[in-house]
């Protein structure tokens, strides 16, 4: 029932692209069994290569073919050769980057001997197509999800209530915070930054940081909450990323399922930090550039990934250099240093978000230049002023102790059923009020 429901869910977007999910499921289910049963190392490697080529080939065709084709055309034009390169008139399948990484982790883990293949095509197909996290994650490992399918899910009232709380929390982040900030603070600034005062542009950049966080972490909350209501556990994907003290800490908190995937299946196989300093820095840069390309077929994502990779390399360089003095600092000094590191990291992340959000490199540089110019504040609409207040509330909520959220969840769970029902109905009314201009989840495009 869950598999059919998941396929029906995806088919509401595009029935034909459902075939890609079924193809990936059949391909890696078969190859996983072949890798597990095969004793010959060469054949095992061949089967793994077939999985890599099959999955990454489909991803490259639908997501990157036009990008590389237009890049080659532009490069040839720069040398004086006018050549019309081919393009594909196809839609980017929703969620293809997520379920491709999921199926790849399955065959790679079997090849490494960390996982045994499943004999149930039904279980594996549901692992790939499970609807809560199908289109925007979190990226689930087979080793975490398949064991949950080996036993019959049991309804648990406590988990169901926890799931409802997470869904309400996620929709609040998306509809009330992310969409409102996007409409009244972000869109105008990124469309025409030169028309606004530098302070207004800076507010727009800050607002986008919390828009994308509310949008993406909100989806994750809804996905995890939906799974909990059916008796399944999905991995945590966010942990207050904007209080990170450096870029390394940021990636332990932001899109955790992707950052750990890149670490385990790309960074470590490249050599990780086992080699020379130069090799480590190169591995970090390669990993993050490819992580940037994973997000989108655009040079702005390459710049975004390069920025993060370079910053991670510099962070590792400083850590290894011994320039940071060891020893205990007075508590006030330690607190001041941590605060400064968090502020610096947040602004470095915001710099990256400028390239992430901008469709072209030129528009990103125009926005950065506008940070130092004069112009209108664009706060004449009452909703814009209200959005600034909402941004302040979002920042304050982000830096509050993590235990507070747990306390709210426990209070909701302990409330009488009637009170819970009133809260749910009130929330639905509030979401309806704010969703007059709902926007798709940002990570649907990846």
Catalytic, out of 36, 197, 255, 295:
295
Q: Give pLDDT tens digits for 8-58.
A: 999 998 899 999 999 999 999 999 999 999 999 999 999 999 999 999 999
Catalytic, 295? Answer yes
Mean pLDDT of the chain: 92
- Confirm if 227 and 148 have CB atoms less than 8 A apart: no
| Model pLDDT, residue 399 | 92
Residue 222 phi/psi, 5° resolution? -65, -40
CB atoms within 10 A of CB 256: 20
Please give the Cα distance from 409 to 404 (Å, whole number).
9
pTM of the model: 0.93
CB atoms within 10 A of CB 92: 18
- Confirm if 354 and 364 have CB atoms less than 8 A apart: yes
236-240 long-range Cβ contacts below 8 angstroms, 24+ apart: 236/138, 237/137, 237/138, 238/213, 239/402, 240/398, 240/399, 240/402
The tokens 């029902």 sit on which residue? 421
CA-nearest of 179, 187, 182 to 434 is: 179
Return the CA Rg of the chain: 23
- Confirm if 191 and 363 have CB atoms less than 8 A apart: no
- Confirm if 112 and 420 have CB atoms less than 8 A apart: no
Residues contacting residue 396 through CB under 8 Å, at least 6 positions apart: none
For residue 16 the two structure tokens come to 């034909």
Please give the Cα distance from 121 to 101 (Å, whole number).
18
| Model pLDDT, residue 335 | 84
| Model pLDDT, residue 28 | 97
Cis peptide before 138 (omega within 30 of 0): yes
| Model pLDDT, residue 327 | 54
- CA distances 328 to 143, 182, 332, 338, Å, are 41, 43, 11, 13
| Model pLDDT, residue 304 | 96
CB atoms within 10 A of CB 194: 11
Average pLDDT by consecutive 10-residue portion of the chain (446 residues)?
A: 95 92 96 95 96 94 88 83 82 91 96 95 96 93 94 86 96 94 94 93 97 96 96 95 96 96 95 90 96 92 96 89 63 85 96 95 94 86 90 94 91 94 95 80 83
| Model pLDDT, residue 411 | 94
| Model pLDDT, residue 76 | 82
Q: Give pLDDT tens digits for 290-314.
A: 999 999 889 999 999 999 999 999 9
Question: Which of helix, strand or coil describes residue 295?
Answer: helix
Please give the Cα distance from 35 to 38 (Å, whole number).
5
For residue 269 the two structure tokens come to 């196989």
Residue 245 phi/psi, 5° resolution? -95, -10
| Model pLDDT, residue 442 | 87
């Amino acid at each position: 029932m869950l598999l059919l429901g998941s396929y029906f869910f995806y088919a509401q977007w595009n029935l034909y692209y459902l075939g890609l999910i079924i193809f990936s499921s059949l391909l890696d289910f078969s190859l996983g069994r072949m890798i597990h049963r095969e004793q010959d190392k060469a054949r095992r490697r061949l089967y793994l290569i077939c999985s890599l080529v099959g999955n990454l080939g489909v991803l490259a065709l639908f997501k990157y073919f036009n990008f590389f084709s237009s890049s080659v055309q532009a490069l040839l034009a720069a040398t004086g050769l006018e050549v019309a390169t081919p393009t594909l008139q196809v839609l980017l399948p929703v969620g293809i980057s997520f379920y491709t990484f999921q199926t790849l982790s399955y065959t790679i883990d079997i090849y490494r001997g960390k996982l045994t293949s499943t004999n149930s095509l039904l279980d594996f197909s549901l692992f790939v197509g499970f609807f809560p996290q199908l289109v925007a994650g979190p990226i689930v490992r087979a080793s975490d999800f398949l064991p949950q399918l080996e036993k019959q899910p049991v309804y648990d009232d406590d988990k169901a209530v926890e799931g409802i709380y997470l869904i309400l929390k996620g929709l609040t982040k998306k509809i009330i915070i992310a969409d409102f900030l996007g409409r009244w603070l972000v869109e105008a600034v990124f469309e025409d930054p030169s028309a606004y005062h530098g302070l207004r542009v800076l507010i727009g950049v800050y607002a986008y940081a919390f828009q994308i966080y509310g949008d993406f972490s909100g989806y994750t909350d809804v996905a995890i909450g939906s799974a909990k209501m059916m008796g399944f556990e999905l991995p945590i994907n966010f942990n207050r990323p904007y209080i990170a003290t450096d870029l390394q800490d940021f990636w332990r908190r932001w899109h955790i399922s992707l950052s750990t995937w890149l670490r385990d299946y790309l960074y470590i196989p490249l050599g990780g930090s086992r080699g020379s300093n130069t090799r480590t820095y190169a591995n970090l840069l390669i990993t993050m550039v490819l992580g940037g390309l994973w997000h989108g077929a655009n040079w702005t994502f390459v710049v975004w990934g390069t920025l993060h990779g370079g910053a991670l390399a510099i962070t590792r360089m400083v850590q290894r250099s011994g320039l940071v003095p060891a020893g205990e600092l007075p508590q006030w000094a330690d607190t001041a240093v941590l605060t400064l590191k968090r502020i610096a990291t947040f602004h470095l992340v915001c710099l990256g978000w400028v390239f992430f959000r901008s469709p072209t490199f030129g528009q990103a540089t125009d926005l950065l230049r506008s940070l130092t110019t004069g112009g209108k504040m664009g706060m004449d609409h009452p909703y814009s002023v209200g959005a600034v207040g909402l941004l302040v509330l979002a920042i304050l909520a982000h830096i509050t102790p993590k235990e507070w959220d747990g306390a709210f969840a426990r209070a909701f769970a302990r409330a009488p059923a009637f009170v819970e029902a009133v809260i749910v109905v009130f929330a639905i009314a509030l979401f309806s009020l704010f969703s007059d201009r709902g926007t798709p989840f940002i990570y649907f495009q990846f």
